[in-house]
Amino acid sequence: MVLVISPVPPVSAGEDGAAREKAAQLQTLREKIRQLQASLDKTRDRQQALRQALKAAEKEIGRLSRALRKTRANLRLKQQELTRLQQHHQQQKEALSRQREALRQQILASYAMGRQGYLKIILNQQDPARIGRTLAYFDYFNRARAKQIEEIQRSLKAIATLEARITRETEGLQNLLGQQESQVREKERQRGRRREVLARLEREIQTKEQRLQALIQDEKALASLVNQLQSVLTDIPPDTSEGRPFPTTKGRLIWPVSGKIAARFGSRRNNTGKLRWQGIVIRAGEGEEVRSVHAGRVAYADWLRGFGLLVIIDHGDGYMSLYAHNQSLYKSVGEWVSRGEVIATVGNSGGRATPGLYFEIRHNGKPTNPLKWLRARR
């Protein structure tokens, strides 16, 4: 989160600089709101495009599923037809075997009848015409049987041709079925991936919308403070009893609290790198004393969202120091403080996970590296 300093109206000679500082911060905050709104619009555009792609994918899955169902139905019909043909083929083969056996028996009977007929004519003096008629009947039946066999053979050949065609069609349908099933699976995978991305975008949009609302609230609060700064009296002179002006103390200021530096000025505050620290974070134990780095007048002493219990001291000449995430505040707005005077205790207010002090120095609204102002540690 970009630092938002929201002091109450300072009543020192540096009031004009403080007002300019707040106006500059307000402008910066509005620019962040504009950028976040643009980012949110872009994410929503991506969301809309993804929804359209998801809609198209689901329609395509529907079309492929219908085609797949039709192919499966056709395949079942072909398999049923092939089964019927195979059964008919088997029946015809059995009929052919029976006809062939019957023809063989007829031929044997005809042959036997023919031999017996000649013997009977010679030995028994039977009527040759009668025997001839009997043999003619046998010949007729044999030819009729042979014709039936030929018809069955033609039927078997036609069945075999049809079986081959249906087998090819069945194989083609099975290949088509495999392709369609593969297409449906791929489309379903694509739909799953799009749904995951869409859910991530929706979470991102929700986060950005919440962030945007928070920034808008910050803007309103800061704008109100700027208006107050512009309307306050400016005729109260600064306290110069401690002599040295703030600009001459660069590299000589005392540390507000003892502890290791947990975050440095300008370092990234998040993984994207878009937010950077405008001051430093000093790791310290809860309840440790926080001291003013230089003499000045308390311009703000209250809770501020994102910073918790916050103290801002106006040092004149447009310089301010900020002390955030305190456990408790010991000074009130308008009080003068001396260099090294206790103004608060270390805490983790404002949503900080661990105790520590967030410390800033600003000049005319512009953050400056506090480490260049604080005395070097040995």
Q: Which of the residue ranges 48-62, 326-340, 343-357 would you say has the lowest mean pLDDT?
A: 48-62
| Spatial distance between the Cα atoms of 134 and 140, rounded to a whole number of angstroms | 10
| Spatial distance between the Cα atoms of 125 and 123, rounded to a whole number of angstroms | 6
Is 270 within a domain? yes
Find, among 370, 318, 277, the residue nearest to 21 by Cα.
Answer: 318
Query: Is the model's pLDDT at 184 over the cut of 70?
Result: yes
Do 167 and 311 lie in a common domain?
no
Do 276 and 322 lie in a common domain?
yes
| Spatial distance between the Cα atoms of 301 and 5, rounded to a whole number of angstroms | 11
- Which of 185, 205, 235 is where one domain is finished? 235
Report how many domains make up the chain: 2
Strand partners, 299: none
Query: Is the model's pLDDT at 37 over the cut of 70?
Result: yes
Label residues 193-231 b or e (16+ Cβ within 10 Å = b).
ebeeebeebeebbeebeebbeebeebbeebbebbeebee
Find, among 334, 318, 311, the residue nearest to 257 by Cα.
Answer: 311
Query: Is the model's pLDDT at 13 over the cut of 50?
Result: no
Do 65 and 177 lie in a common domain?
yes
Do 305 and 223 lie in a common domain?
no
Is 248 within a domain? yes
Is 1 within a domain? no
Confidence category of residue 62, pLDDT binned at 50, 70, 90: low
Overall pTM > 0.75? no
Query: Which long-range contacts link 211-217 to residues 24+ away (Cβ below 8 Å)?
Result: 211/36, 212/33, 212/36, 212/37, 212/40, 214/305, 214/306, 215/29, 215/32, 215/33, 215/36, 216/33, 217/305
Which CATH number characterizes residue 296's domain? 2.70.70.10
Is 3 within a domain? no
- Which of 192, 216, 235 is where one domain is finished? 235
Residue range 274-330, pLDDT digits in tens: 567 889 999 999 889 999 999 999 988 888 777 888 899 988 888 889 999 998 899
Is 367 within a domain? yes
Taking every pair of Cα atoms in the chain, the longest distance, rounded to a whole number of angstroms, is 171
- The pair phi, psi for residue 171, each rounded to 5°, is -65, -40
Find, among 360, 378, 376, the residue nearest to 324 by Cα.
Answer: 360
| Spatial distance between the Cα atoms of 335 and 341, rounded to a whole number of angstroms | 12
Q: What is the pLDDT of residue 110?
A: 57
Q: What is the pLDDT of residue 229?
A: 41
Residue range 349-361, pLDDT digits in tens: 876 788 999 999 9
Residue range 109-162, pLDDT digits in tens: 655 655 454 444 444 545 556 556 665 665 666 677 677 768 767 777 876 787
Do 169 and 119 lie in a common domain?
yes
Is 200 within a domain? yes
- Which of 182, 209, 235 is where one domain is finished? 235
Residue range 192-235, pLDDT digits in tens: 777 777 777 777 777 767 666 765 665 566 455 545 543 442 33
Q: Which of the residue ranges 67-81, 94-108, 292-306, 336-350 would you say has the lowest mean pLDDT?
A: 94-108
Do 276 and 207 lie in a common domain?
no
Q: Which DSSP state fits 258? A: -
Specify the higher pLDDT residue, 59 or 49. 49
Is 348 within a domain? yes
Do 32 and 160 lie in a common domain?
yes
Do 55 and 164 lie in a common domain?
yes
| Spatial distance between the Cα atoms of 280 and 263, rounded to a whole number of angstroms | 5
Residue range 246-285, pLDDT digits in tens: 999 999 999 999 999 999 999 887 654 556 788 999 999 9
Do 320 and 371 lie in a common domain?
yes
Do 67 and 149 lie in a common domain?
yes
Domain span holding position 59: 8-235
Do 355 and 341 lie in a common domain?
yes
49's enclosing H/E stretch is helix 15-123
Is 157 within a domain? yes
Which CATH number characterizes residue 153's domain? 1.10.287.2610
Do 317 and 281 lie in a common domain?
yes
Q: Which of the residue ranges 238-242, 253-257, 344-348 would you say has the lowest mean pLDDT?
A: 238-242
